[in-house]
Amino acid sequence: MSFHPNDVARRSRAAAWMSAGLIVFLVGAFFRTQILRNQQWVLQSEENRLREVPIAAPRGMIFDRKGKIIAENVVGYTVSVLAQSEDSLRSTLKRLSGTIQLTPPQQEQAVRRYRRAPTRPTAILNDASFDVVSVLEEHRVDFPSLIIMSAPKRFYPDGPAVLPFVGFVNEINETELSQPQFSGYKAGQIIGKQGLEKEYESVLHGREGSRFVEVDARGRIVREQGAQEKKPAQAGSLQTNIDLDLQLYMANVFADSLVGGAVAMDPNNGEVLALYSNPSYDPNKFIGGVSVAYYDSLRNNPKRPLYNKALQGLYPPGSTWKLATAVMGLEEGVATMDTHMPQACNGYYYFGNRAWHCWEKGGHGSLDLTGAIAKSCDVYFYQLGLKLGLSRLVAGGVQLGFAGKAGIDLPEEMKPRFPDKLQYFDEKYGPRNWSGGSMAMNISIGQGDNSQSILNMARFYTALATDGTAAKPEIVRRRPERTKLMTLTPKQLDDLRQAMAGVTQAGGTAASAALSGGVTLAGKTGTAQVYALTASKQCDHAWFVGFAPVEKPRIVVAVMLECGGHGYLAARVASAIIGKYLGVPTMLNIQTEG
């Protein structure tokens, strides 16, 4: 080799510069990674090791008008898993099912939850019992990716009694997640599914908190609370107009035997005092996921508990609608309270080569409007309806609010079925001359193409109970909203109320439902003959809509009993409810005699 000192020194310099150059280059590379791009890598390192565990916020409380609790939160436990992949989740579930009871549907649901939100802990049991939690805590070491948390759990102390208006909460589903109003929501969160819980979701939904757990490369939890915890914030509470005592009483009146619904309102401001549908079910069983067995028992129940009869149920209003015909007659000047119809009632009325029967086969004789209301005489109202004509009946019905929703702050309310214009009949049955025909007669006694919700009937009677102004029904306390429905003089309205008072007096259709203590109950019975789905047979729905005290009504109650027979049975139920509210006992035991 060339070993002359000068050559060696030159090569030595070259080697030294090369070593120094490469090391300095590496220092520069480390400077870039560690100093200049530090933030990016710190973030990734934190993402590696920290998993956000959401802490559910307690939902807002729901109170009745006196501050009694309708919906609250109690301590519950959730069990979830931080899964790395679907496979690891499945294997954890399989191992878990050896320790606690975990049905295949529960496992499948957990996998679906994981697919929806793989970065969040996957809930396995949303409402674990204390026993399950203790067993899991014992086996903690075997399941390093398990998160057991206490979480606020929705509880309705009066369960079934309040369900018809309060609804219930449950986990948000895929469809809901894609809807714009749930844009800020994440899979696994709890939302209102029905009733007030759904209607006031934005008020009741708290702000979710979060904490962090530290995990290793395989997703096993190494320690809790890797970083600062963010506390969840409880939402505002909801002050309702519901009178919980009355609500419980209402539920109790229905008991097990009666199928139907009832609504109680303050006619002066539209406050809904009670709203119930029977049979009801326990919303607490829906929290954290309803069991298949319970849900099936509800779905297969012929009395259809899942169907809200006060809001969703549409029933022919029957004779309770005769007041609408009466109002129109008074408004048009076709009749006064003293008007007798050309033909007295002898049990039927001939029209179009056919006898139209009155419910009273023996006939009522000649009645004025007051008497016709008290006795619910069909023959009288056939003739009044013919005088008004179909066109006026339809327009008047729309004016009185029978074609639209009552507007209660609950999502379940169904729009009534009522012809909004005369062409409706042409479109439905083919064009012909409808005016003054049999359709007018049917409509005038609350039959024909007319189905109303119990709530909407109650709303109509708030106008009769006051100055002709209907109050918009409100569950949550707010400024009353009232709409003028009819242009009757106070005297005319008073006369109508007196006529309705006759219903519960001797000779009236609901004489047996009168109140004691000098308080007069006014109202109207209805008996609508239908083919009832719940009974799968022809039967009579029993209606009663009324108010008391007749001089200055404080409460309007609408009751409808599916296949309840004659309207006076519904009147007894209403009477009991009103009596409870006004503090006066009813005359009779409300339990029907057969």
Partner 1 sequence: MARQKVNVDWPLVTAALILSLYGIAIVYSAGQTDIPIAGYIRNAWKQQLIWFLLGLGGAYAMSRASIRMLEWMAIPMYAFTTLLLVLLPFIGKGAGTAASVKSWLVIGGVRLGQPSELAKLTVVLMLGKILASSKDPPKSFVDLWKPALVVGVPWLLIMAQPDLGTGIVFVGIFFAMLFWSGISWRLLLLLASPVVSLILTVSTKLWGAWFLLLLALVIWYKPYLWEGVFLVAANVVMGVLAPILWERLEPYQQNRLRVFLDPSVDPRRSGYHVIQSQVAIGSGGWFGKGYTQGTQKRLAFLPEQHTDFIFSVLGEELGFLGVVVALMLFLTLFLRIIKISERANDSFSSLVAFGLLASWFVHVIVNVSMTLNLMPITGIPLPFFSYGGSFMLASWLAVGILVRVAHEGRGGKHGPFAI
Report in angstroms how near the CB of residue 116 gets to partner 1 at its nearest: 22
CA separation for the pair 38, 30 (Å, rounded): 10
Smallest gap from Cβ 52 to partner 1, in A, equals 16
DSSP H or E stretch at residue 483: strand 482-484
CB of 200 to partner 1, least distance (A): 44
- Minimum CB–partner distance for residue 118 and partner 1 (Å): 14
* Terminal CA-CA length for the chain: 124
Report the nearest approach of partner 1 to the CB of residue 143 (Å): 15
Pick between residue 34 and residue 423 the one whose CB is nearest to partner 1: 34
Shortest reach from residue 15's CB to partner 1, in Å: 5
**Residue owning tokens 């006051």:** 466
Residue 96, H or E segment: helix 86-96
Residue closer to partner 1 by CB (options 2, 228) is: 2
Taking the least distance from each CB to partner 1, the nearer of 220 and 230 is 220
**Nearest distance in Å: CB 214, partner 1:** 7
Minimum CB distance to partner 1 smaller for 213 or for 390: 213
Q: How far apart are CA 66 and CA 61, in angstroms?
A: 14
Q: In angstroms, rounded to a whole number, what is the distance separating the alpha carbons of residues 544 and 524?
A: 6
Residue with tokens 């606020």: 152
| 202 Cβ neighbours under 8 A, 6+ residues apart | none
CB of 217 to partner 1, least distance (A): 4
CB 592 within 8 Å of CB 569: yes
Contact (CB, 8 A) for 343 and 318: no
- Closest approach, Cβ 211 to partner 1, in A, equals 17
Nearer to partner 1, 52 or 467 (CB): 52
Three-state DSSP at 25 gives helix
Q: Based on CB atoms, which residue is closest to partner 1, 45 or 129?
A: 45
- Report the alpha-carbon angle 74-78-83, nearest 5: 160
Torsion sign over Cα 389, 390, 391, 394: positive
Task: Decide whether 20 or 75 has the Cβ nearer to partner 1.
Answer: 20
Angstrom distance (rounded) from CA 465 to CA 493: 8
Sign of the torsion formed by the C-alpha atoms of 190, 195, 201 and 207: negative
Amino acid at 410: L
Task: For the beta carbon of residue 1, count every other beta carbon within 10 angstroms.
Answer: 5
**Residue 92 Cβ vs partner 1, minimum distance, rounded to whole Å:** 17
**Identity (one letter) of the amino acid at 17?**
W
Reading the block at residue 335, the tokens are 């009749």
Residues that bind partner 1 (CB under 8 A): 1-3, 7-9, 11-13, 15-17, 19-20, 22-23, 26-27, 29-31, 33-35, 37-38, 40-42, 44-45, 48-49, 214-218, 220, 222-223
Cβ neighbours around 338 below 10 Å, total: 10
Q: Which is nearer to partner 1, 42 or 533 (CB)?
A: 42
Q: If 0-12 CB within 10 Å is exposed, 13-18 middle and 19+ buried, where does residue 201 land?
A: buried
- CB-CB neighbours of 52 under 10 Å: 16
* Nearer CB in complex with partner 1: 225/291: 225
Closest approach of Cβ 149 to partner 1, in Å?
22
Which residues, including other chains, have CB under 8 Å from residue 249's CB and lie 6 or more apart?
A: 274, 576, 577, 580
Helix (H) or strand (E) holding 294: helix 292-299
Nearer residue to partner 1 within complex by CB, 1 or 506? 1
Q: Is 322 helix (H, G, I), strand (E, B) or coil?
A: helix
Nearer to partner 1, 12 or 489 (CB): 12
Comparison of 44 and 591: residue with beta carbon closer to partner 1: 44
Please say whether the beta carbons of 497 and 552 come within 8 A.
Answer: no
30 versus 294: smaller Cβ distance to partner 1: 30
238-239 vs 62-63, strand pairing mode: parallel
Task: Provide, rounded to whole angstroms, the least separation between the CB of residue 104 and partner 1.
Answer: 30
> Among residues 387, 153, 418, which one has the least CA distance to residue 289?
153
Smallest gap from residue 228 Cβ to partner 1 (A): 16
Q: Which is nearer to partner 1, 1 or 355 (CB)?
A: 1
Q: Please identify which residue in the block is written with the tokens 């690891």.
A: 88
Please identify, using beta-carbon distances, which residue of 38 and 103 lies nearer to partner 1. Answer: 38
Rounded to 5 degrees, φ, ψ at 525 are -85, 165
- Tell me the sheet residues that pair with 213: 51, 224
Q: What token pair was written down for 60? A: 């807002």
- φ, ψ of residue 169 to 5 degrees: the values are -115, 160
State the nearest-atom distance from the C-beta of 58 to partner 1, in Å.
33
Nearest distance in Å: CB 193, partner 1: 38
What are the C-alpha distances in Å from 119 to residues 111, 171, 177, 336?
Answer: 13, 17, 16, 73
